[in-house]
Amino acid sequence: MGIIEMFQFSFKQIRKHFLESFLIICGIALGIAVVTGVIGLTEGYERQFVEYVNSPSFRIFQLTTMIDTGEGGLKNLRRGGIIEEERLKLTYDDYLKLREADIPGIEYIWLSSFVKGQSLDLGTQVGIDLSAEGNMEKIVFVTPEYFKVIEAEIEMGSVFAEHDVSEASEVTVMGKSLAQAFYPPGYDVKPIGSTYQRLQIIGVVNFKPIDRVNVVEGIGELGRINRYVFVPYFTDVQGKESRTTDNVNCIYVTVAKNENVQTVYGRLKRYLDDNYAGQVYIKGDYLQKNRVSKSNVLISKVIGFFAIAGLLIASINILNLMLARILRRNKYIGLSVALGASKLDIFKLFLVESVLLGLLGSIIGLGLAYGGLVVLSQFIQIPLYLSLMTVFVAIGLAIFTGVAFGLYPAYQASQINPVDVIKGE
């Protein structure tokens, strides 16, 4: 009997003993569905973690004397009898000192502070009020390294320097989209040399467009940077009062792309502990997302362990069901041997049937796993799907289960003596 005839015969036996076959297939399918689902879940978390690693926010740390309230906000640090006026405040000197420390692995250090949308009116020069168009934009108070962080291209003029920050120079730089809105191509008045409120426009920068709007701490909304107005950190836009260098909200640092974030974090933490005795905190997406990702992967591995244990238990039940099938088919086996079938023929027949049950279980199991991952991805907001490798692993595991727990029943079937069967009848 050829392999095709064996598979055809096995299909007939599966249909003939449908209930037993259905239970075996269900046992394999459920085990495969759980194991495959856990693999897909783990891969989803790992893909998300890789996206975090490649995202700008992952390599940015925020140094502040304020602590997380646990409600998405920050509050001032208070210790024992220390009152608000006596708490540590970061200053411009702290920023300069950190830059001079030259901590290995830190690429950029900058200051930034955002003021929400205003009516940006350049007066009678152009007279366009963006607020009327629903385009309330942001004024960003920054130090020069901010432009290196966002990899801005200088379209016109230049950006301001560090001395413009310390001297609170009355200059500003515009994002390209905003500059084009105020100064359309071909218009007589050009941005360079014009004034924004009290500030002289010295440059126009262009940030590489990003399709989706993504807010990065210390940088802003990536999709809207070209509509920002950039001002030296201590420059007062409205001229009402001078911004003091004695108070800096927070200092931002970014880790170089070729550096290990955890290693650089350790160096930065040691620097802060040595200089500020634990009164300056490090915040950042890396700290939160790294902990969450590791926890999720660990949970997935634990679930996977129990899933494999469940598959093993299901496989033992499959073994029992296969043995029961053989006991109920003793008469058929005895007659086959009596009519000339060899022990090897009987062994191969039952082994092929086991493999076929495993394949059917893997197909159903993959369908269940795919449906489960689609539903789960809607709840946890993480794209989950079965990779081609996972599909192959599932099919291989199902065939292995069928073969491993079909060998012994197949061997038992091949050892049946037709004489004993006739005597039993």
Q: Over the stretch 49-60, which tens digit does the pLDDT of each residue have? A: 666 666 667 788
In a domain, 328, yes or no: yes
Q: What is the pLDDT of residue 157?
A: 92
In-domain check, residue 239: yes
Kindly state whether residue 265 falls inside one of the protein's structural domains: no
Higher per-residue pLDDT: 411 or 148: 148
CA distance 421 to 109: 86
For residues 420 and 305, state if they share a domain: yes
Residue 173: enclosing H or E segment and its boundaries? strand 171-175
Q: How far apart are the first and last CA of the chain?
A: 28
Residue whose pair of structure tokens reads 């009116």 in the numeric block: 121
Q: Nearest Cα to 409, choosing from 339, 341, 348? A: 348
Are residues 401 and 301 located together in one domain of the fold? yes
Q: Which of 227, 246, 265 is the last residue of a domain?
A: 246
Question: Of the residues 246, 280, 303, which one is the last residue of a structural domain?
Answer: 246
Q: In the predicted model, is pLDDT for residue 232 greater than 90?
A: yes
Same domain, 236 and 323: no
Given 246, 279, 299, the domain boundary residue is: 246
pLDDT at 211 over 60: no
Name the burial class of residue 332, with classes exposed (0-12), middle (13-18) and buried (19+) by CB atoms within 10 angstroms of its CB. Answer: middle
Claim to verify: residue 298 and residue 231 sit in the same structural domain: no
With respect to residue 279, please indicate whether it lies within any of the assigned structural domains: no
Q: Which pLDDT value is given to residue 9?
A: 74
One domain, residues 132 and 24: no
167 in any annotated domain: yes
Considering only 47-56, 274-283, 364-373, which range has the smallest mean pLDDT?
A: 47-56
User: Do both 183 and 295 map to the same domain?
Assistant: no
Question: Could you read off the pLDDT of 106-131 as tens digits, one per residue?
Answer: 999 999 888 754 444 444 334 344 44
Could you report the per-residue pLDDT of 127-154, keeping only the tens digit for each? 344 443 344 457 889 999 999 988 889 9
Same domain for 298 and 406, yes or no, is yes
Is 103 a member of any domain? no
Looking at the 3D structure of the chain, how many domains does it have? 2
How would residue 196 be classed by pLDDT, with cut points 50, 70 and 90?
confident
Q: Which domain holds residue 10?
A: 3-52+291-424
Same domain, 234 and 124: yes
Judgement on whether residues 238 and 309 belong to the same structural domain of the protein: no
Residues 17 and 138 in one domain: no
Write down the pLDDT at residue 422.
62
Cβ contact 117:138 at 8 Å: yes
Residue 131 pLDDT: 42
Q: Does the pTM of the predicted model rise above 0.85?
A: no
